[in-house]
Each structure stands twice: as structure tokens, then as C-alpha cells.
Amino acid sequence: MMPLRSTVLPWLFGALCLALSATASAADCTAVLSDSNVDFGQMRPDASKHAKHIRPSPVQRIYTALCKAPAQMNLVFRTPAAGTNGTGEARDALKFGDRGTYRVRVLNARLDGAPVQLARLPAIGQPPGEAPTSELTLKPSDILAPVQGQQLLRGERLDVTLQISARIPVDAMSVIQTVTFDAVGQLSLDVR
């Protein structure tokens, strides 16, 4: 599970935390996240009266899947969607508290040490439903796999660099109270 949590003390400081988890579906494979907690550090609303959102600096993590024998690895991402949530963001934004959103972006992937592209799959083990790419933003219920063209690739080690960013509306906070933002998501490995 990937709990995402933030406590914001408006005008003083705010701490924004995210906890990710990695699971594997096969006994001969393991999945590990470099650090399951993401701490965006202290933050304040921008001094400008025109600022509508707090956007802490993005944080990177490495997701590693290891198998004892070559396998076709699928990454499955599960988390609630934010919808438009009144924020005007695209529907692929992820829900962070009542009004905030966050995004998880794949910056690159390596299969057995070599750069590889990922593609979204309509279902586990099926050919890609979209063109392969080296960078993409995760959507709720995404299934990704390393590919070459339309062919699903097999390997023993998959390393994926993730970038996590958050966006919180300034008006979601109040000077007289502490505001907590929570979210839950899971990135799991399914092996074929």
C-alpha cells in the first residue's frame, strides 16, 4: 500500500509525506522500493497573494523487481483517482486528501541493466494498448510492462525511477487549524 500523508500548518510550515509499498505476486520474485516514505519537507504557502497552490519539490524513488529466472513483469498501480476534484486537473491526477492531488511519473526504466520502454497494457499479459515510451505518468489502475514495440519483454531485474509530486490548493488550509492530507496507493508486480 502507498499511504500518502500530509499535515500542513498554514503560514508556519507544512510537512508532506508519502509512503509507497512494493509487492510481488510470485514466490521467486521480490519487489523493493528504495525508500517507502516520501517527505517533501517543510513548506509554506507562497507569500504572493496570487498563489493558488502549494507545490513542494518532487521526490524520486527507485522501484526494483528481482526474479530468479527471466519473467515477463507487469507493474500494477492501484490508487483512487482525484477526478477533476474542483482543481481543474486532468482525471489522471491522484487523490490526495479532500482537495489535493499527487502524481507519480515514471522517468526511466531498465531491464537487466539496459534502458527499456514501458507500455500500458489493457490487461496483464496482453499486448500494449498504447505506444511504448520511456516516460509516463501513472494513472489509477495502470498496468505497465517493459516492451520492445508490441512485444512484452522478459528479464530478471527491472528498475523503474519514479518521481512523486504533489499539489495542494492554498485555500484548503486554514490559519487556525491543522489540515491533514491522506492518500493510499499500491504499486505491485505481477509475473508471467
- The answer, yes or no, to whether residue 14 has pLDDT greater than 50, is no
pLDDT value at residue 8: 38
Question: In this predicted model, what pLDDT tens digit does every residue of 43-69 receive, in sequence order?
Answer: 666 666 677 888 888 889 899 999 999
Set of cell numbers at residue 36: 517507502
pTM of the model: 0.78
Question: Beta-strand (E) ranges in 55-178?
Answer: 59-78, 94-96, 100-111, 114-120, 136-137, 143-148, 151-152, 154-169
When pLDDT is averaged across residues 126-133 and rounded to a whole number, the result is 92
Structural domain containing residue 88: 2-191
- The answer, yes or no, to whether residue 1 has pLDDT greater than 60, is no
When pLDDT is averaged across residues 62-89 and rounded to a whole number, the result is 78
Domain tally, the chain: 1
